[in-house]
Structure 1
């Protein structure tokens, strides 16, 4: 992998680690706001942040990531309405993700690309969980991020990573990463699209929609072929876990009344009782693969040799 924070002076590494975590928390707060506005139909470019209950404008003291939620005890300063713990959870998770990316990839163009991807996947998770849709804007942002940064990437010196399987033919520069990304995107996106169409043809029931397929294509671009397949398998397990939790929640079923969304994003149907959004599972699996996929693949290959 790229030089990590462990390769520099401890004091500087500690400072940069804190900086990465703070930036992650801030981006988590931003994505919370962006996702809520998309779901509520508000403009994402205009207007001040406000309480979703009473509409009061929020000031800086209300918007400090993580700190404000705990300081206000999860309630609005103005109307005392409850603020969902989802906001602070997202901020904490994004802080951890940004820190993990910095520790693994250092402060490089590759780390920047993965940090932007983390923000995109965060937005996908929040919107898809609420609306069962994946806005095309997130997909376009993912494509643009990969297209702008793939030229600066190279094959990792050890382990599995984007470009590994093409390094022998194309060298260890960006060409191998580019080829692996295209192969991963086509296999994940195209393969799942073909499987989904076949499943629907045979069972006469909805499966994955276009939004999920497009998101898998983007994930394949960033991960490449081997890690993309690992991520897809992991996403299936995470999706089943989400379905199991929703099953235990005892909420009313909506699988009989939902249809495919306007933008083509579909849902998985769990235990024939309720639908679940698959976007959060894809997002979680993609980030986990970027962070721990290489050692997991090495361990698996080691079992076969």
Structure 2
């Protein structure tokens, strides 16, 4: 087994556990509840979930998708979040390998999943996750820069965070109904991640969010599933745009620049 594959498998197992925790975060944070205590319980009968019934994905299958005590159905979202987080962790780990940047990227994946689900359900990006991630992301990117010796990536991250934050803040000032302050705060995190890779990644990732969100909005209008005043969560599109930037940003930017040379 290659080192990259081994790291990916470990990351996948970690992703299952993290995904289970993200289910708690997505349920409790919007309600202002602690994610630490009390222990997880069935939302229907309030019975505390037993340890043997709290194994990611497997418990949902073995319980027949129902609570052991009250037999109320358990939403398929729980195993999907757990499995999805595991797959995302494994893919990122296999792509990056045992690099110093891996912890930062895995943390980014985790908060992206949580924020996407929360924003879709509540149209909010909670400060406890977004602003609370500022020092975490800063430390993880600093450790990555120290480990790799690439201090320029940390400088780019700092500049990128400020630039994308300022750009979104300007948009809110010019047209307040267009997006919320949660999007502005999230922009700082995405700017740091994107710019740490490169300036092309920052430009492409930042633009892709608007492009994808715009296409989705036009599609809803065309299908008459939404009106001009319908509020559409923009956070998920910002996050998806950032993924596009991280994956193909530098190649797209280089191809764009090559058209002028």
| Common fold: TM-score over 0.5 | yes
How far apart, CA to CA, are the structure 2 residues paired with 1:132 and 1:181? 27
Q: Deviations over 1:103-150 (max 9, x none)?
A: 122223311011112212222222222222212122233311232133
How far apart, CA to CA, are the structure 1 residues paired with 2:72 and 2:221? 29
Matched, 1:194 2:170: yes
Q: Is the 8 A contact 2:157 2:194 kept in 1?
A: yes
How far apart, CA to CA, are the structure 2 residues paired with 1:240 and 1:276? 10
2:72 counterpart SS class: coil
Q: Is the 8 A contact 1:32 1:126 kept in 2?
A: no
Of 159, 172, 192, the residue aligned with 1:183 is: 159
1:275 counterpart SS class: coil
Listed as ranges, the matches of 1:30-179 within 5 Å are: 30-154=21-145, 173-179=149-155
Q: Which residue of 1 aligns with 2:241?
A: 285
How far apart, CA to CA, are the structure 2 residues paired with 1:274 and 1:16? 43
Q: Which runs of 5+ in 1 are unaligned?
A: 1-9, 156-171, 201-205, 252-269
Q: Deviations over 1:46-97 (max 9, x none)?
A: 1111111221211233222222223334322222222222222222221122
| 1:92/1:243 CA distance change after superposition, 3 Å | farther
Of 3, 23, 26, the residue aligned with 2:17 is: 26
The number of residue pairs the alignment matches comes to: 257
- Compute the displacement of 1:250 (Å): 7.7
- Compute the displacement of 1:247 (Å): 6.2
Q: Is the 8 A contact 2:172 2:181 kept in 1?
A: no
- Compute the TM-score of the two structures, normalised by the length of structure 1: 0.74
How far apart, CA to CA, are the structure 2 residues paired with 1:99 and 1:66? 16
| 1:28/1:246 CA distance change after superposition, 3 Å | farther
The structure with the greater share of residues assigned to helix is 2
- Compute the TM-score of the two structures, normalised by the length of structure 2: 0.85
| 1:82/1:289 CA distance change after superposition, 3 Å | farther
Q: Which residue of 2 aligns with 1:220?
A: 191
Q: Which residue of 2 aligns with 1:236?
A: 210
| 1:98/1:248 CA distance change after superposition, 3 Å | farther
| 1:101/1:194 CA distance change after superposition, 3 Å | same
Q: Which runs of 5+ in 2 are unaligned?
A: none
